[in-house]
Copies of this chain bind each other. A is one copy, B any other.
Amino acid sequence: MLGSLVYVGGLDLQAALDTVSIDGERLGDELARIGYDGSAPLGLHRPHAYVELHIEQGPVLDEEGITIGAVENLQGISWQEVTITGQSNHAGTTPMRLRRDAGYCAAAIGVFLRQLASELGGNQVCTMGKVDLHPNLINVIAARARLSVDLRNTEELLLQEAERRLASFLEELARAESVTIDTRRLARFEPVQFDDDVARMIESHAARLGCSHRRMTSGAGHDAQMLARICPASMVFVPSVKGISHNPAEHTAPADLAAGANVLLHTLMELACQ
Task: List chain A positions with a Cβ less than 8 A from chain B.
Answer: 56-59, 75, 77, 79, 87-96, 98, 101, 103-104, 106-111, 113-114, 117-118, 123, 125-133, 136-143, 148, 150, 152, 186, 218-221, 243-247
Contacts and interface: CB of A to CB of B under 8 A. Distances in A.
B125 A136 contact: no
Contacts of A140: 129, 246
Nearest to A139: B150
Contacts of A56: 93
A243 B89 contact: yes
24 contacts: A57-B92, A58-B94, A88-B246, A88-B247, A89-B243, A89-B246, A89-B247, A90-B219, A91-B246, A92-B221, A93-B218, A93-B219, A96-B125, A103-B127, A104-B110, A104-B114, A107-B108, A107-B110, A107-B128, A108-B111, A129-B137, A129-B138, A139-B150, A143-B247
B244 A87 contact: yes
Contact of A108 (B93, B110, B243): B110
A90 B58 contact: yes
A105 to B, nearest CB: 9
Given A88-B247, A103-B131, A117 B96 contact: yes
A161 to B, nearest CB: 16
A221 B143 CA distance: 21
Given A59-B95, A89-B246, 14 more contacts: A57-B92, A57-B93, A92-B221, A93-B219, A94-B125, A94-B245, A96-B125, A98-B243, A106-B110, A108-B110, A108-B111, A130-B137, A137-B246, A139-B246
